[in-house]
């Protein structure tokens, strides 16, 4: 069977996409499935030039997903900041004297502090022992008003779909937020939708930019039937 230049280009680009996807360590599996399916449908699928089927429909078909599942996948990738509620030790966080551990007693004072650089939240909690309360006092003073002084929180989750594909993601995330309650009230972060646009935050690896695959949308549906292009593919 003869391969057209379009086939060869699509194979190379799909290969490049899959390599990059599998090297992205923080990618949830649902997002990974969706990115690979979108890549397949626009680059490799035998029906990719069929004008009667949209990319969204075809992606749903290859994933064997219903519409609700598709919107769940989009919602899971909504770029946002999610505090790590499980982070840090449970119990009083005052250090013990001469022992290399925290007090750990059950707490009676708890409050949040917002980081002045990232806007991220730290939960503090202390027990009622006078020594621990003395330790807590300057932290509590520092924390008071920290929310109003802190910048908008840098997103720490989602934002991977726009890393790979140019599309009307803001409209898609808004629609997902209407349908999927876990991200109800979602607003686009001012830092950008794509995770590679966010400022670096301590302890978090920033994803590298990737040449974005352009999906062409009309009336909110994708009609990438003209042959997609990897934006800036030559630079990789
Ligand atoms: Zn304590």
Contact 133, 114 (CB under 8 A): no
What's the gap in Å between 148 CA and the centre of ligand 1? 28
* Distance from chain centroid for Cα 125: 29
> Among the three residues 98, 122, 153, which one is the final residue of a domain in this structure?
153
Q: How far apart are CA 192 and CA 49, in angstroms?
A: 31
Q: Per-residue confidence of the chain (236 residues) as pLDDT tens digits?
A: 567 888 888 899 899 999 999 988 889 999 999 999 999 999 999 998 888 888 889 999 999 999 999 999 999 999 999 988 777 668 999 999 888 899 999 999 999 999 999 999 999 999 999 999 999 999 999 999 999 999 999 999 999 999 999 888 999 999 999 999 999 999 999 999 999 999 988 877 778 888 887 775 444 444 444 433 444 444 43
Counting the structural domains of the chain, the total is 2
Same domain, 39 and 49: yes
How much is the pTM?
0.81
- In which domain, by residue range, is 104 found? 82-153
What's the gap in Å between 103 CA and the centre of ligand 1? 5
Same domain, 104 and 220: no
What's the gap in Å between 92 CA and the centre of ligand 1? 5
Same domain, 77 and 178: yes
Contact 155, 142 (CB under 8 A): no
Same domain, 131 and 227: no
What's the gap in Å between 213 CA and the centre of ligand 1? 53
> Among the three residues 153, 172, 203, which one is the final residue of a domain in this structure?
153
What's the gap in Å between 130 CA and the centre of ligand 1? 8
Same domain, 58 and 163: yes
Contact 194, 158 (CB under 8 A): no
């Amino acid at each position: 069977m003869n391969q057209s230049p379009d086939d060869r280009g699509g194979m190379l680009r799909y290969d490049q996409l899959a390599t990059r996807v599998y090297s992205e360590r923080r990618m949830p599996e649902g997002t990974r499935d969706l990115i690979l399916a979108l890549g397949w449908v626009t680059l490799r699928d035998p029906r990719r030039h069929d004008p009667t089927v949209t990319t969204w429909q075809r992606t749903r078909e290859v994933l064997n997903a219903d519409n609700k599942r598709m919107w769940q996948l989009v919602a899971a990738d909504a770029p946002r900041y999610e505090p790590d509620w499980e982070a840090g030790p449970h119990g009083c966080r005052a250090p013990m004297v001469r022992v290399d551990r925290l007090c750990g007693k059950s707490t009676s004072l708890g409050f949040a502090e917002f980081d002045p650089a990232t806007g991220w939240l730290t939960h503090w909690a202390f027990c009622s022992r006078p020594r621990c309360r003395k330790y807590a006092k300057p932290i509590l003073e520092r924390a008071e008003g920290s929310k109003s002084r802190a910048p908008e929180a840098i997103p720490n989750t989602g934002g991977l779909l726009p890393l790979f594909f140019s599309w009307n993601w803001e409209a898609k995330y808004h629609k997902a937020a209407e349908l999927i309650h876990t991200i109800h009230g979602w607003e686009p972060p001012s830092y950008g939708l794509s995770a590679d646009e966010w400022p670096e935050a301590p302890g978090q690896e920033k994803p590298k930019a990737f040449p974005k695959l352009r999906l062409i949308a009309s009336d909110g549906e994708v009609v990438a039937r003209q042959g997609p292009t990897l934006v800036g593919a030559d630079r990789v």
